[in-house]
Structure 1
Amino acid sequence: MTATTPSAATVQLVADAVTFGYPGRPVLDRLDLVVSAGDRVGLVGENGAGKTTLLRVLAGDVAPTSGEVRRVGTLATVEQELVPQRGATVGTLVESALAAVRHAADELQAAVAAFDHESGDLSALERAVARFEHLAAWDADRRVDEALTRFGAPRDRGRALDGLSVGERYRVRLACRLAERTDLLLLDEPTNHLDAAGIDYLTEQLRDWPGALVIVTHDRALLDAVMTAILDLDPAMDGRPALYGATRYADYRFAKDQMLRRWRARFRAERKRADRLAERLDAAYEGLSDEWRPPKGSNKHRRATGARLHVKAADRLIQRLEADAVEVPVPPPALAFPDLPSIPRPTVDGAVEAPAGSGLLGPLLELRAPRVDGGPGRPRLDLPGVRVDVPPCGRLLVTGPNGSGKSTLLAALSGSVALDRGVRTVAPGVRLGVLAQEGPTEHADAEEERRSAFDAYARHALDLLAAGALDPQQLVPIAALGLLADDDLDRPLRELSVGQRRRFDLACALLAAPHVLILDEPTNHLSVGLVDELTEALRVTSAAVVVATHDRRMRADLADWPELRLD
């Protein structure tokens, strides 16, 4: 597939029949892509489809198994994770990003100083001026400071990177890359660690980007506002990714949904055809057992001839049915969100659940006047006089800029952080399902990383059972959720992609069939299709739901929920 604009813009990137795979797991198959200056290509697809891998191949960090990648001009990438080098600071990132800008300024200064007005090479001076203006080198430091400020990132250039949070490090690097103004910019989930104001600023910068952009994103509003094309790495029925030229997300979703409907209908039809073939073959060969005999009264010498005719007729049937059959791959699964309970049912002697009669008065979960200190200076959370209560089937949308305490509030609700002031109350028997920004897989030790996803899920269930937070009769099997394919369930956690690990964390939040779901930035690292399905499921589930999100489309979809804004 090819993404191009109908102009004479400079081609910045060409991927020609690029193929790549890990041992036993193909990822990219003969992928073609052309991106010119002014093109803004959004990469979407299910988790594990190869989006991040494709970015790494395009950047030259990973060599394709076959095919070729050609790039023209300067390149910058912003990956999802940044492991800081020892001793690196905010200033280290800034100066590294602006090295080319500084070099262009030095070259122009040297060219001007050495230029001989009578016999000098005017073309060399013009090239130096053009490069200086292309990079807007005179404005580079202001651009960095503005981006750091607008993203809510640390501006102190002496701050050590290893002393910053994951989100702060990401925002610093993103600000530096935007100020760098490269010809080709590759971004992996750039909105994950930004608040609403930061996302708005990023959107403005990307819309005006003079070079070429390739962006992996789950942000549906960003796809709407920025992209000139959407490349979906999920294979269609023919096994190939598809390029959608429509720039509106709704148009892309409509086209893809129509394709999936046709695929699933074709698959069901072929399954029925295969079942009919099996039934007719069974009937055709039934008479060829040791008990087969010609019709009563027939000539016994016709027995062998009749058997041969019977076999030939069955063989002709097989050939005719197989000639009409079409091999249709299994279509991708949809999210099968579990039927979650709204209230805990009373128990008999603490052993078995009795028939329902609500008997529950008041909220399932309540938090009053919470305060969580974060060391010297400003507390992480301080809400004097505020009461947060979550009733059965309740809904709450938590919003606010980065640093306002949204994650701390959700951690206080879930009980994963201690209160320095305030009271937290959980009704008897209430089970919580929690998806934090850093889920179980973020803190897995080496032994856990070696476990398969299925075994790790089972271990999580045993831990909940030991803590009295799981009813074995209401356990939600991970294989029934449609979040991970069967093959992925058998793979070690360490081999799963970032998005697949996020899916696993979501499954862990649903494991105990919770009465209250507490979700912190649930769209992070998930595919756009899954985000659509998850949003719809959260709107209709019987469980109570608390969501904190910067995702603009999700906030719009949940706009009718009660909102708690932190500033």
Structure 2
Amino acid sequence: MHLVADDVAFAYPGRPVLRGVSLVVGAGQRIGVVGENGAGKSTLLQVLAGALVPQSGQVRCAGSLAVVTQELELTSGATVGTLVDEALASVREAGAALERAVDEFDHATGELGALTDALARVDHLAGWDADRRMDEALTRFGAPRDPWRALAELSVGERYRVRLACRIAARADVLLLDEPTNHLDEAGIEYLTGQLGAWPGVVVIVTHDRRLLDDVMTGILDLDPSMDGRPVLYGATRYATYRFAKDQAHRRWHQRYSAEQKQRQALLRRLDESYEGLSDEWRPPKGSGKHRRATHARIHVKAADRLVERLEAHAVELPVPPLALAFPDLPAIPSALGGTPSGEPLVEVRAPLVRGRLDLAGTRVSLPPCGRLLVTGPNGSGKSTLLAALAGTVPLDRGARRIAPGVRLGVLTQDDHAALAGLAPTATGFDAYARWALDLLAEGALDPEQLVPVASLGLLAESDLDRPLADLSVGQRRRFELARALLAAPHVLVLDEPTNHLSIGLVDELTDALRATSAAVVVATHDRKMRGDLADWPQLRLA
């Protein structure tokens, strides 16, 4: 079993995405794919899976293949059982083939070859254990197990966990996963880590999870620009080692570019001098050959021209710096409170109850100015509901919510597709940002003097903000949703799984910014590295 990509290139209409991707992955190897949002990570998985055809190059796959994308297109009437049956179809076919081979075998004259092949196939798929594996994976990932549950009734996270469990239980030879930890809690991530670490076949994973890179990967493929314009495969098995190697490569790139520019300027000066001598014919002293000096000048010009051409033909491009987060200077206290601390919380909820989702009887959750809160707990414990209660976007069946006068909230939910769905299909980032700003202004929830321009944040290039939001990658849309949370210069940030779909570099920058900002911040996250980085914050763990 193996997966090979040979000089693969892919482009959407008018927009190149992948170029010169070469990769060879064998059994037991696990490659993590990283890069900035929009670099083509999800596109690469689709090309490797055969769902997209490359414009050049080729992909070869030996063995069965399974892929779990970030988004699932729902089939009408599909249920949990539908996905389970599809995943185990090859296992059950192999089991049925073995039963037929056993029933038809003639012990006196039969050939053992067919029976041996059928037995080997079942053994390769661990068919004896398939149903138990499926039940275990669904349970450990916290996915619904009722086969009659309609997928349309499940949350995005539940649907993803069902698909992931099905692919893990099916034991494909080649496994392609796109951000598999986004919808998993700590127990689910630990189970996934164990499964991937022992996977006998090929694994290629797009991930922003730095701990998963450390715990599982045997190599890291970086799709960000490099000196020769091709993706770089690092043999690093730890994130810190990869970052060091990448930084060193960028330093060498900058050094080579600077050296080439100095050499080019020197050659151009030499060329100018040669042209000047040619125009004057470099007249020789009286008595010498009339054209000897002029002939030498022409030789110098041609030689300098050739050197400049050779240098430009092999020169590297100027390294393009990646987008860097420019986190705004957020206010700590609204002007309505006089701009000075009053000892009162900016926002709080007391004894919140949302039936079937959250019950914190006797609990007060409050955020003072510049306050911090880290919310943790397994899937289904009510973290998202608690954050929605703080944000005021879900009604309470019991308890009370209080927000101080003039307090502005910036809210990032796990999946903010509902807000984007209300926009016209052709709406660009600039269009949507302006519309939301006008809506907030009409509600009195925005101070025009403190509006945060979307282009100033370093989250998306202006060229991407001019494109329809529907054309952006999942990660780029997530960056836009983060920008939206910062639009009104909020006093309180409420962030639910803020690392989902973001690039690794941005996750590092965002973590540093949240630690330093003057705004109050509440974060709910399963990201183990972010939880470790915020371990000194006050914490609320939900059971």
Normalised TM-score (structure 1): 0.85
Residue 538 (structure 2) pairs with residue 556 (structure 1): no
* Deviation at residue 118 of structure 1 after TM alignment: 3.3
| AA at the equivalent of 2:198 | D
Partners of 1:263 and 1:331 within 8 A in 2: no
Within the candidate set 5, 18, 24, 1:28 is matched to: 18
The corresponding residue for 2:118 is: 128
Q: Deviations over 1:375-395 (max 9, x none)?
A: xxxx21111110011011111
Provide the rounded CA distance (Å) in 1 between the counterparts of 2:252 and 2:334. Answer: 41
Amino acid at match of 1:454: F
**Which of 3, 7, 15 is the aligned partner of 2:5?**
15
Distance 1:154 1:121 in 2: 45
Partner in structure 1 of residue 70 of structure 2 = 80
Residue 371 of structure 1 aligns to which amino acid in structure 2?
L
Q: How does 1:456-467 map to 2 (within 5 A)?
A: 456-467=432-443
User: What is the distance in 2 between the residues matched to 1:264 and 1:508?
Assistant: 34
Q: Give the structure 2 partner of residue 70 of structure 1.
A: 60
Separation in structure 1 between the aligned mates of residue 150 and residue 90 of structure 2, nearest angstrom: 23
Is 1:60 aligned to residue 36 of structure 2? Answer: no
Q: CA deviation at 1:263?
A: 5.1
Matched with 2:244 is: 254
**RMSD across aligned positions (CA):** 2.6
Q: Determine if contact 2:257/2:316 at 8 Å carries over to the other structure.
A: no
Deviations 1:356-386 (A, max 9, x none): 751533111111111112xxxxx21111110
Matched, 1:372 2:354: yes
Q: For 1:448, what is the secondary structure of its paired residue? A: coil
| Residue equivalent to 1:507 | 483
Distance 1:357 1:408, change over 3 A: closer
2:417 counterpart of 1:435: no
Give the match's secondary structure for 1:385: coil
In the TM superposition, residue 173 of structure 1 has moved relative to its aligned partner by: 1.1
Alignment counterpart, residue 474 of structure 1, candidates 450, 455, 467: 450
- In the alignment, which of 153, 163, 168 is matched to residue 158 of structure 2? 168
Match of 1:305 in 2: none
Paired residue type of 2:241: D
SS at match of 1:450: coil
Equivalent residue of 2:424, what SS? helix
CA contact (8 A) 2:336 2:405 kept: no
- Contact (CA 8 Å) 1:370, 1:421: kept in 2 or not? yes
CA contact (8 A) 1:260 1:331 kept: no
Q: Secondary structure in 2 aligned to 1:462?
A: helix
Tell me how far apart the structure 2 counterparts of residues 498 and 212 of structure 1 sit (CA, whole Å): 25
Q: CA deviation at 1:448?
A: 3.1
Q: Is 1:449 aligned with 2:425?
A: yes
Q: Which residue matches 1:517?
A: 493
Cα distance in 2 between the residues matched to 1:541 and 1:63 = 45
Q: 1:112 deviation in Å?
A: 1.7
2: distance between equivalents of 1:142 and 1:204?
A: 17
Tell me how far apart the structure 2 counterparts of residues 430 and 185 of structure 1 sit (CA, whole Å): 47
Task: Report the equivalent of 2:322.
Answer: 332
Give 1:234's aligned amino acid.
D
Matches within 5 A, 1:85-104: 85-104=75-94
Give the equivalent residue in structure 2 for 1:211.
201
Which residue pairs with 1:198 in the alignment? 188
Percent identity among equivalent residues?
Answer: 70
Residue 401 of structure 2 is matched in structure 1 by 424
Secondary structure, in 3 states, of the residue corresponding to 2:164?
Answer: helix
Q: Which amino acid aligns with 2:444?
A: G
1:269/1:534 CA distance change after superposition, 3 Å: farther
**Alpha-carbon spacing, 1:492–1:318, altered in 2? closer, same or farther (3 Å):** farther
Change (3 A) 1:342 1:264: farther
- 1:169 CA drift (Å): 0.9
Corresponding residue of 1:413:
390
Instruction: Give 2:368's aligned residue.
Output: 391
Question: How many angstroms apart in 2 are the aligned matches of 1:372 and 1:272?
Answer: 67
1:258 positional shift: 3.4
- Return 5+ residue gaps in structure 1 as ranges: 1-9, 281-315, 348-355, 374-378
Alpha-carbon distance in 2 for matches of 1:461, 1:360: 29
Give the CA deviation at 1:529.
Answer: 1.1
Q: Which of 28, 35, 38 is residue 38 of structure 1 equivalent to?
A: 28
Structure 1's 327 and 36: CA in aligned 2 closer, same or farther, altered over 3 A?
Answer: closer
CA–CA distance in structure 1, aligned partners of residues 150 and 196 of structure 2: 28
**Corresponding residue for 1:287?**
none
Give the match for residue 298 of structure 2.
Answer: none
Offset, 1:83: 2.2
Partner of 1:54, secondary structure, is helix
Please identify, of 419-428 and 392-401, the stretch whose mean Cα deviation from structure 2 is larger.
Answer: 419-428
Distance 1:509 1:446, change over 3 A: closer
Amino acid at match of 2:41: K
In structure 1, C-alpha distance between the alignment counterparts of 2:421 and 2:180, rounded to whole Å: 27
In the alignment, what sits opposite 1:303? none
Residue type of the alignment partner of 1:336: A
Which AA in structure 1 matches 2:501?
H
- In the alignment, residue 420 of structure 2 is paired with which amino acid? A
Pair 479,264 (structure 1): closer, same or farther in 2 beyond 3 Å: farther
- Shift in CA distance, 464/261, structure 1 to aligned 2, threshold 3 Å: farther
Supply the distance in 2 between the matched residues of 1:320 and 1:464 (Cα, whole angstroms): 60
Taking the aligned partners of 2:444 and 2:203, their CA distance within structure 1 comes to: 50
Question: Does structure 1 retain, via aligned residues, the 8 Å contact 2:9–2:21?
Answer: yes
Residue matched to 1:490: 466
Provide the residue aligned with 2:286 in structure 1: none
- Alpha-carbon distance between aligned partners in 1 of 2:407 and 2:259, rounded to the nearest angstrom: 44
Which of 466, 490, 503 does residue 527 from structure 1 map onto? 503
> Structure 2: how far apart are the matches of 1:518 and 1:268?
44
Instruction: Return the letter of the residue paired with 2:432.
Output: A
Q: Distance in 2 between matches of 1:513 and 1:259?
A: 37
1:427–1:236: structure 2 CA closer, same or farther, 3 Å change rule? same
The residue that corresponds to 1:138 in the other structure is 128
Tell me which residue corresponds to 1:294.
Answer: none
Rounded to whole Å, the distance in 1 between the matches of 2:159 and 2:408 is: 34
**Aligned mates of 2:189, 2:316 — CA distance in 1:** 46
Which of 340, 348, 358 is equivalent to 1:358? 340
* 2:77 paired with 1:115: no
- Cα pair 1:448 1:456 within 8 Å, conserved: no
The code of the aligned residue for 2:370 comes to C
Q: TM-score, normalised by structure 2?
A: 0.88
Distance 1:451 1:263, change over 3 A: farther
Amino acid in structure 2 at the alignment position of 1:164: L
Residues 327-365 of structure 1: per-residue CA shift (max 9 Å, x gap) = 414221211111111112358xxxxxxxx7515331111
User: 1:465 Cα deviation (Å)?
Assistant: 1.2
